[in-house]
Structure 1
Amino acid sequence: MAVLERFAGKRITVLGAGVSGVSLACFARRKGAQVFVTEQKTLSESTKALFFREGISWEEGHSERACACDELLLSSGVSPKAPLVEHALSLNIRVTGELDAVAPFLRGRLVAITGSNGKSTTVSLLGHLLRGVGRNVVVAGNIGLPLGDIADVEYDDVVMELSSFQLHWTKNIAVHLGIITNLDPDHLDWHGSFEKYVQAKFRLFDLLTDGGALIGQERERVLYRTHERMPTVPFAWEDSKELERVVFFEKESCFLRQGDERMFLFDRRIVPIPGKHNAENAAMAMAAAVLLGECPECLTEGLKTFRSLPHRCEIIATIDGVEYVDDSKGTNVAATVTALTSLEKPKIVILGGQGKGESYGGLAEAVRDHAERAVVMGSEREHICRALDEVGYDKYERAADMEAALMISRSLARPGMMVLLSPACTSWDAYSNYKERGEHFRRIVQGFQART
């Protein structure tokens, strides 16, 4: 089937009316399909109005009509175990993930970045670096613009953040360069096991073009070897002669070595975003830009001018000598452990929210070793407190909500300390998303500031 005829005249059902689902529906409609959207939850009035204008039918709650189609398109996050997906497959209806649906219509060199943590920062930084040297770049996918919105638009480079959900369904896309920032247990409630989660991330290997490079963590080599994969360009904190190609640090300097040739990339001290983990993100982004053909010297100014993304170790204010940092995007244990171990000041950490089925043992050990005090809230509060008890850490307080957590933290903090919101949990027990949680944190902190 010719690409241009892919959806023309077809009956397309889109499962899910979140950001990516709405974008998919409008994309398929532009391609001449008859589009029907099925969404389990209540649609917003603005979404209903958009569908009306575009001539898209919809329903709230799934019905048999959803499978009266030639193809089912899945918005980001739809599980293969979803009853509607299983029913469609039993009827031999073609089921297609978001990326495979849109991929033939993406115009530009494709770069894909995934990982458990740091992917949004790395995606945004790489886009910033490439724009700084004059490339026409779009950053899209699981961050900012959904992929359906950029179909048929000409770019030099399309830098995509891809989730494990998106990669699970992806088979047919050609990626020029990939990055896997790191691999830690996440979304186990969706994938069922860490092994299956890793398998989804490793779909990226199969999507690379011939000669395409993949940057990943050398420290995770055992995990890669278990799955019979290895990054073509590993990142490590020191050089290793066992590696033919490697991105590494030597004191404060970051290098890319290929064979016997060693290229200086940047001095770590110019990276404007805090933490050792962000030095890793910068190393991967700079190496990617160089592998895409740019010179390090031309990229340096872009690295200097990059700013932290909201809710990712974002410094909100310093009040009475205490720094308040919003890491609301820390929605899993690994992200919070990284923040605790990478940020150097004495810390009071605010934890808790809705869990993802993870163990809190590693989190408790990191809190014990790297936090002076902890304040725990949310539906996972007692589970986290039990984990802290089990490692012999008793310097924690329980809080009913964010206001209480910040009031307690403020009363405990001393000049030179940091109050860090890094929950290790999702926000869904109290907020619509991590952004709303982070904004609430910001408003409360700014209220403290206004009263000083």
Structure 2
Amino acid sequence: MNFDYKKVLIMGYAKSGLAVEEILKHIHVEYQIYDKSHRINGGGYLNKLSKKKILEFDLIVISPAISIFNKYVSFAEKSGIKVVGEMEFGYWFTSSPVIAITGTNGKTTTTSLTQKIVSTSFSSSAYGNIGTPLCEAYGLTLDYLVCEVSSFQLESTYSFSPYISVILNIAEDHLDRHKTFENYIRCKLGLIKNSTEKSLIVLNADDELLMKRTQNVKAKIYYFSKFKKVKGVYLSGDSIIVNMSSKRYEILKLSDIENLKSVIEDVLASIVVGVLLKIEPDKIIESIKSFELSPHRMSLVLEKNGVKYIDDSKSTNVHSTLNALSVSNKNTILMLGGSDKNLNFDEIFLKYSDKLTHVVAFGSARKKVLKSAKHCGFENILVCKNFYEGVKTAYGLASKNDTVLLSPSCASFDEFESYAKRGEQFEKIIKELAHAKN
């Protein structure tokens, strides 16, 4: 591309910032780096930032962790300085077509499965929120780049225009970051704002909000659905049906992939992408049958004395917990809580109170969970100050045929650095308690 910027500021020096830096080094553009959590010595690094300093740059590249509401970002934009995210910046430097996947839930699973399917027939790799910055694709020639794209990344993309865009669902999340649900919706729909008549879009036909907000999109749209016949891929009883390009056929049976029932929407979306790329059905089927869910997504950590202990720590919003409860049994002890993201828990109690024998509320969101339970008339709730006490309480409540489900609907940052650390601790505590009872 024709890069006209003379001096660049990299804001955020984690993995994405390092990847941006490598490109700037290669194209010989002057840059400096600012990260308030890292004090780094050297001429290229800033340990302080000011509005006066901001005016020295004509481009700022921000990491996903930095909000567009950041005071320096806001000042830069008001001053006419271009501000873009790492994903937008990386997109400028690739000529490979992008398959981009977003949604409130299921992004990582769908990206991983889609990449597995695509790689059976094309050179491809996964980038974005899944862990590898898109900037690391610089200099590579691949048939496709499969990108997981979060709302944090989408709020600072402008020219990003995938060949295939997949939107899995939209539900309330990250309101602590985006301020309003409408802002969050706009970020998610930003994935398809640059779509053209040559673009391909894959949407969840069961998501009413998504259907309503995509009625006037200029692109070829295909759908996936658990409940109705669509142009795309859908469930019909035990059959997964492909209905595309004037062909209709069963590609797989749901009963053949029991381990993926909790993420069936992600599977359907991935099949649509595979069929659009004309990948042989046998390769799609084999990819799905051999696919394993990532840790902390409906993972069975222990089954003892007729009780199942399930780690779904990756469920950090209400929509994801609702999905988990939809496949859980009718004797579920649910652990809810953690770091509050300004979400409403009412739907959990209104929709699944018949499945819940008890709810254990823990962490900084515990009072809000309790308030929601009372508001919905749910009485079997216990409140624990921290995660450890919550796990002990849930374990003590469980009896034969129960399921203890950690599906918190909240982030982990009040006690843990990540949902993964929280899930690991859940498994550790459960196994220690089980061993102590022997």
Tell me whether the two structures share a fold, i.e. TM-score over 0.5. yes
| Residues 66-215 of structure 1 mapped to structure 2, 5 A cutoff | 66-131=54-119, 133-208=120-195, 210-215=197-202
Contact 1:21–1:76 under 8 Å retained in 2: no
Contact 2:224–2:234 under 8 Å retained in 1: yes
The TM-score with structure 1 as length reference comes to 0.89
Deviations 1:25-78 (A, max 9, x none): 3332333222222223345xxxx5xx96xx842326666434421211111143
d(CA) in 1 for partners of 2:4, 2:401: 60
The change in CA–CA distance for 1:445 and 1:60 in structure 2 (over 3 A counts) is: farther
How far did residue 108 of structure 1 move?
Answer: 2.8
Contact 1:274–1:313 under 8 Å retained in 2: no
How far did residue 177 of structure 1 move?
Answer: 0.8
d(CA) in 2 for partners of 1:110, 1:256: 23
How far did residue 304 of structure 1 move?
Answer: 0.9
Between stretches 152-161 and 317-326, larger displacement belongs to 317-326
What SS does structure 2 have at the residue aligned with 1:68?
coil
Contact 1:247–1:283 under 8 Å retained in 2: yes
d(CA) in 2 for partners of 1:405, 1:94: 47
Deviations 1:110-137 (A, max 9, x none): 1000000011111111112223x24322
Q: Are positions 1:20 and 2:16 aligned together?
A: yes
Between stretches 34-43 and 391-400, larger displacement belongs to 34-43
Q: Structure 1: give runs of 5+ residues left out of the alignment.
A: none
What SS does structure 2 have at the residue aligned with 1:325?
strand
Contact 1:115–1:183 under 8 Å retained in 2: yes
d(CA) in 2 for partners of 1:446, 1:62: 51
Contact 1:142–1:161 under 8 Å retained in 2: yes
| Residues 232-251 of structure 1 mapped to structure 2, 5 A cutoff | 232-240=221-229, 245-251=231-237
The change in CA–CA distance for 1:42 and 1:345 in structure 2 (over 3 A counts) is: farther
How many pairs align?
435
How far did residue 368 of structure 1 move?
Answer: 1.6
The change in CA–CA distance for 1:97 and 1:232 in structure 2 (over 3 A counts) is: same
| Residues 285-364 of structure 1 mapped to structure 2, 5 A cutoff | 285-344=270-329, 346-364=331-349
Contact 1:238–1:249 under 8 Å retained in 2: yes
d(CA) in 2 for partners of 1:148, 1:413: 48
Contact 1:349–1:421 under 8 Å retained in 2: yes
Contact 1:114–1:162 under 8 Å retained in 2: yes
Q: Are positions 1:41 and 2:30 aligned together?
A: no
Contact 1:378–1:401 under 8 Å retained in 2: yes
d(CA) in 1 for partners of 2:34, 2:115: 34
Between stretches 349-358 and 204-213, larger displacement belongs to 204-213
What SS does structure 2 have at the residue aligned with 1:143?
coil
Contact 2:100–2:166 under 8 Å retained in 1: yes
d(CA) in 1 for partners of 2:213, 2:51: 42
Contact 1:42–1:60 under 8 Å retained in 2: no
Contact 1:39–1:62 under 8 Å retained in 2: no
d(CA) in 2 for partners of 1:144, 1:24: 15
Percent sequence identity over aligned pairs: 26
Contact 1:264–1:296 under 8 Å retained in 2: no
The residue aligned with 1:391 is: 376
Q: Are positions 1:444 and 2:433 aligned together?
A: no
Deviations 1:278-314 (A, max 9, x none): 1111111112111112022222111111111112212
How far did residue 227 of structure 1 move?
Answer: 5.4
Q: Are positions 1:65 and 2:53 aligned together?
A: yes
d(CA) in 2 for partners of 1:92, 1:340: 48
Root mean square deviation of aligned Cα:
2.4
What SS does structure 1 have at the residue aligned with 2:285?
helix
The change in CA–CA distance for 1:30 and 1:318 in structure 2 (over 3 A counts) is: farther
The residue aligned with 1:266 is: 252
d(CA) in 2 for partners of 1:226, 1:144: 29
Aligned residue identity for 2:240 = C
Aligned residue identity for 2:265 = E
d(CA) in 1 for partners of 2:424, 2:26: 35
The residue aligned with 2:420 is: 435
How far did residue 20 of structure 1 move?
Answer: 2.2
The TM-score with structure 2 as length reference comes to 0.92
Contact 1:313–1:339 under 8 Å retained in 2: yes
What SS does structure 2 have at the residue aligned with 1:72?
strand
d(CA) in 2 for partners of 1:34, 1:303: 46
Aligned residue identity for 1:258 = M
Aligned residue identity for 2:420 = K
Q: Are positions 1:219 and 2:206 aligned together?
A: yes
d(CA) in 1 for partners of 2:146, 2:258: 21
What SS does structure 1 have at the residue aligned with 2:401?
coil
Q: Structure 2: give runs of 5+ residues left out of the alignment.
A: none
Among 4, 18, 28, the alignment partner of 1:32 is 28
Contact 1:427–1:434 under 8 Å retained in 2: yes
What SS does structure 1 have at the residue aligned with 2:207?
helix
Aligned residue identity for 1:255 = I
